Amino acid sequence: MSPPIIQSASELIGNEGKQVRIYGSYGIQDLGGYAVKVKAANGSWKRIRKIAYIKLEDGTFIELKNRPDDEMKALDGHRVVATGKLIIPAEPTAMPIMARPDPVPTLIEIYSIQPQPDEVGA
């Protein structure tokens, strides 16, 4: 059975923790002078200054965890399908309301990101 296809925020519901296929536009957020620490595949820690994401048709962003620089350069601005495990973080409750970041749906355990034609199914 193929993983469910996600193209809008409404399709995220009920798919948390499952293998899914995310369709949308690949993009990169440059953190400027800031960096985020992430755990590398070998268990060491590294700092990243860019975060990859897929923007769905309705404007929802899905973060892609820890993507290689060559992939980001090659796919930036292109329509893609990414296959991996969907995680939707819980809202933090120990912070004041104004300081709470919105939980960002995230794709982890990514095993495939492929460029796609302009229209799904084309």
Q: What are the residue boundaries of the structural domains of the chain, listed by start?
A: 5-115
Can you give the C-alpha Rg of the chain in angstroms? 15
CB 90 within 8 A of CB 36: no
Q: Higher pLDDT residue, 23 or 47?
A: 23
Which residues face 26 on adjacent strands? Answer: 54
What was the pLDDT predicted at 121?
A: 46
Alpha-carbon gap, residue 20 to 25, rounded angstroms: 16
pTM: 0.79
The topology under which CATH files domain 5-115 is OB fold (Dihydrolipoamide Acetyltransferase, E2P) (2.40.50)
pLDDT band of residue 122 (cuts 50, 70, 90) is: very low
What was the pLDDT predicted at 91?
A: 64
Inform me whether the pLDDT recorded for 83 exceeds 70. Answer: yes
CA distances to 16, 41, 76, 90 from 114, rounded to whole Å, are 22, 21, 12, 29
**How large is the average pLDDT for residues 41-67?**
87
Task: Give the list of residues 6+ apart from residue 71 with CB closer than 8 angstroms, or none.
Answer: 52, 113
Beta strand 19-30 with 106-115 is unpaired
Q: What are phi and psi of 76, to 5 degrees?
A: -55, 125
